[in-house]
Structure 1
Amino acid sequence: MVRQKTQIRKIENLAARQVTFSKRRRGLFKKAQELSTLCDIDMALIVFSATGKLFHYPSSSMNQVLERHRLQSENVGELQQPSREMQIECRKSAMLSKELAEKALELRQMKGQDLQGLDIKGLDKLEAILDSGLVEVVKTKGERMLKEISTLKKKEAQLLEENAHLKQQLAMMDTSIGQMGIHDQCCDHHSLELTISSLSSRVPPQNYHISSSDTCLKLG
């Protein structure tokens, strides 16, 4: 005969229920012992009967197994739940993201984009911000231009000073060259006179009647 499968449901008969509990409890504890021995694991079984009676099976020490279970539960809870510091950082990150989105929207609105969500009051506020910013831009631009003009004027004065100094040096060089030319002419005239005197001392007395024009021609 084929053994019929027992339906898993509550046994209504109290005596039969107690007998089934006793048999299956012993079988469960036996299976737990075999599993602990074969696989070298720590395990503990705790069973309360319908009358509230406690039955348990520890593979080593019930207190040690329960302590390990408590620590493991705490560690799992810490991993599942973010720490306080992490929660604070998450809130800060969310606030910064929101602020960044708001600033990006304001920037687009200043460029004339995404204006559909603004009412008259918002548009007036945006116009006031743009006017104030324009005033500051014009003011800063004027200051920069004045600063650049002042710098260019200083450079112009420096170049004019250098140009005047170069002109003065050039004039001094021209004067020195002119003085050197006069000195050279004087030296040439003095050398010519010495040459004529030397030649005159070598000419015989009978030739003294030669005119100065002839002497000049001969020298020439």
Structure 2
Amino acid sequence: MVRGKTQLKRIEDTTSRQVTFSKRRKGLLKKAFELSVLCDAEVALIIFSPRGKLNQYASSSMEETIERYKRHVKNTQDSTSPLVNQNAQPIKHEARRMSKKIEQLETSKRKLLGEGLGTCSIRELQKLERQLDRSISFIRARKMSLYRKQIEQLKEKERTLVAENAVLREKLRLYQHQISNEDNAAV
């Protein structure tokens, strides 16, 4: 029997996700062991579960393998350093610019929450007040829109229930009329 191709996306069911993690972790550890034995390769595998539990495998010493990896990465970076520096300048500039923008947004957010207002000038406070007034207006408009929708839904439900009630009253009236006719016929 051939299994279908597994679609690679996050498994939503927590139980299924945990079972899949456990099975695949075992398979991955087995493959790492096989690779180290069959190919005489130095293998180190580190896995952190979703709950933070550490699982690891090392064909030799984990610390030695990590140190070897660090040395290799450092040597690789040193050999490509001039080229990387040329390409990194625009990226570093963009990162600094974005960092300043994030800092400004965080400061603005803190001020909107009423924190750190001690250093604000009158003009800044007035601007902040206008901004909050606009926000409150948008929030109130949205709230009123939601209330209107809810009222319309409740009115529609009321109409449906009134109509249903009328039908039931008519059925009850007919039933009572039928019973009174049966009582009169029995007498």
Please report the TM-score for the alignment, with normalisation by the length of structure 2: 0.50
CA drift at 1:159 = 1.2
Residue 115 (structure 1) aligns with: 117
Residue 154 (structure 1) aligns with: 156
Identity of aligned residues (%): 24
Bigger mean CA offset, 104-113 vs 135-144: 135-144
CA drift at 1:114 = 0.9
Alignment of 1:32-181 (within 5 A): 76-79=78-81, 81-82=83-84, 86-181=88-183
- SS of 2:165's equivalent in the other structure is helix
> Residue by residue, what CA displacement relative to the aligned partner does 1:169-204 show, whole Å, maximum 9, x if unpaired?
11111122222333334xxxxxxxxxxxxxxxxxxx
Q: Residues of 1 paired with 2:179 and 2:165: CA distance?
A: 21
Residue 184 (structure 1) aligns with: 186
CA drift at 1:151 = 1.7
Q: Residues of 1 paired with 2:167 and 2:104: CA distance?
A: 63
CA drift at 1:87 = 4.2
> Residue by residue, what CA displacement relative to the aligned partner does 1:27-80 show, whole Å, maximum 9, x if unpaired?
xxxxxxxxxxxxxxxxxxxxxxxxxxxxxxxxxxxxxxxxxxxxxxxx954235
Q: Residues of 2 paired with 1:130 and 1:102: CA distance?
A: 17
RMSD: 2.6
Q: Residues of 2 paired with 1:83 and 1:183: CA distance?
A: 107
Q: Structure 1 pair 134/81, CA: closer, same or farther in 2 (3 Å)?
A: same
Q: Residues of 2 paired with 1:138 and 1:111: CA distance?
A: 18
Question: Which of the pair has more CA radius of gyration?
Answer: 1
Q: Residues of 2 paired with 1:160 and 1:92: CA distance?
A: 65
The amino acid across from 1:183 in the alignment is A
The amino acid across from 2:120 in the alignment is L
Q: Residues of 1 paired with 2:178 and 2:147: CA distance?
A: 47
Q: Residues of 2 paired with 1:84 and 1:184: CA distance?
A: 108
CA drift at 1:164 = 1.0
The amino acid across from 1:138 in the alignment is R
- SS of 1:82's equivalent in the other structure is helix
Q: Which runs of 5+ in 1 are unaligned?
A: 1-74, 186-220
The amino acid across from 1:174 in the alignment is Q
Residue 29 (structure 1) aligns with: none
Q: Quick one: higher RCO (CA 8 Å, sep 6+), 1 or 2?
A: 2
Q: Residues of 2 paired with 1:170 and 1:142: CA distance?
A: 41
CA drift at 1:84 = 5.4
> Residue by residue, what CA displacement relative to the aligned partner does 1:147-174 show, whole Å, maximum 9, x if unpaired?
2222222211211111111111111111
> Residue by residue, what CA displacement relative to the aligned partner does 1:55-111 show, whole Å, maximum 9, x if unpaired?
xxxxxxxxxxxxxxxxxxxx9542355265544444333333222211111111112
Q: Which runs of 5+ in 2 are unaligned?
A: 1-76
- SS of 1:142's equivalent in the other structure is helix
The amino acid across from 2:84 in the alignment is P
Q: Residues of 2 paired with 1:144 and 1:79: CA distance?
A: 58
